[in-house]
Amino acid sequence: MPKNCNFIEKLREVGLRPTKQRIKMCEVLYNREKTFHFTINDLVKMISEKMNEKISLATVYNTVHAFEKKGYLKEISIDSHKSYFDTNTSAHHHFFDEDTHELIDCDDNDIDPVNIKKNITGKKINSVEVLVRIASDNQTQK
């Protein structure tokens, strides 16, 4: 259970001023057991609830992108119509539930390492990520 002062230090280390909005955002994002996925709108709601006070949408966008640039957050592309972010910034795979639009992390045991046999000259591989799209199985098997 990290305390706010950790977030203050964390923000300072990265060159961001620890304002009350950013600290609240850190609490919402990082004061939890597990990493999670969210959209900007999700996040605005969560912060507003925890603050009993509105936070400007622009601030959330700006700070999310600042965090992303610093490697505190990662953007996930599964749906070209919506931006998802992930507090799990490591390279990892996902299940995406097409019914609920829920993103689920895979841990390393869930998917064997992907073997890339092609290499493109002059280019290095930055990441290899698998997206498994799932949906409810309505094949009523007899």
Partner DNA sequence: AATCTACATTATAATAATTCTAAACTATTG
Partner DNA sequence: CAATAGTTTAGAATTATTATAATGTAGATT
Interface residues toward DNA, by CB under 7 A: 8, 12, 15-22, 39-41, 54-59, 61-63, 65, 80-83
Cβ contacts of residue 92 below 8 Å, gap of 6+? 105, 106, 107, 108, 129
Q: Choose the one of DNA, a second copy, Zn ion, none that binds residue 54, judging by a C-beta under 5 to 8 angstroms depending on kind.
A: DNA
Confirm if 22 and 11 have CB atoms less than 8 A apart. yes
Select 5 or 132, whichever has its Cβ closest to a second copy: 132
95 is a site residue for a second copy (CB under 8 A):
yes
Separation of CA 133 from chain center: 18
Amino acid (one-letter) located at 18: P
Distance CA(48)–CA(75), nearest Å, equals 22
137 is a site residue for a second copy (CB under 8 A):
yes
The residues in 41-60 that bind Zn ion, with binding defined as CB under 5 A, are: none
Whose structure tokens read 């996902």? 94
Q: Choose the one of a second copy, DNA, Zn ion, none that binds residue 69, judging by a C-beta under 5 to 8 angstroms depending on kind.
A: none
Q: Both tokens of residue 40?
A: 């900007």
Select 33 or 137, whichever has its Cβ closest to a second copy: 137
Q: Choose the one of DNA, a second copy, Zn ion, none that binds residue 120, judging by a C-beta under 5 to 8 angstroms depending on kind.
A: a second copy
